[in-house]
Amino acid sequence: MPSQPPRYRPPGWMPGKPWARPGLFVKDKRKRGRAGMRDRAQVLAEEPLCRLCLEKGLEVASDVVDHKIPLAWGGTDDLDNKQGLCDPCHDEKSKAERAFTRRR
């Protein structure tokens, strides 16, 4: 006597193979490794002050390199799409982007 009820499987269904997971080796647009480290260091050297704080009239050191247009929204990983921000401004910008993505 079976211990579990039968499961419906569509025709042609086969169990997945662990090595055939989709997205395992999909290359994204983000620069990684030394190239990414070099770009981040260059942006922080060119913009030592937070860009958003400068617009408010404050002088705060930039700690984080941020994408102006996020990669998920079609932005590039070029230097002209990066900006130096302080941690609070980066957190605020990221929070607004996540809220906008949820509303879409």
| Domain assignment present for 13 | no
Query: For position 10, what pLDDT does the model report?
Result: 84
| Domain assignment present for 65 | yes
| Domain assignment present for 24 | no
Q: What is the pLDDT of residues 48-92, one digit of tens each?
A: 999 999 999 999 999 999 999 998 888 888 999 999 999 999 999
Q: What is the pLDDT of residues 71-81, one digit of tens each?
A: 888 888 899 99
Residues 31-53 have a mean pLDDT of 93
The domain containing residue 82 runs over which residues?
A: 31-103
| Domain assignment present for 82 | yes
- How far is Cα 40 from Cα 59, in angstroms, rounded to an integer? 20
| Domain assignment present for 36 | yes
Number of C-beta neighbours around residue 62 at 10 A? 24
| Domain assignment present for 61 | yes
- Decide: 85 and 94 in contact? Cβ < 8 Å: no
Name the strand (E) or helix (H) holding 43: helix 33-46
Name the pTM for this structure. 0.69
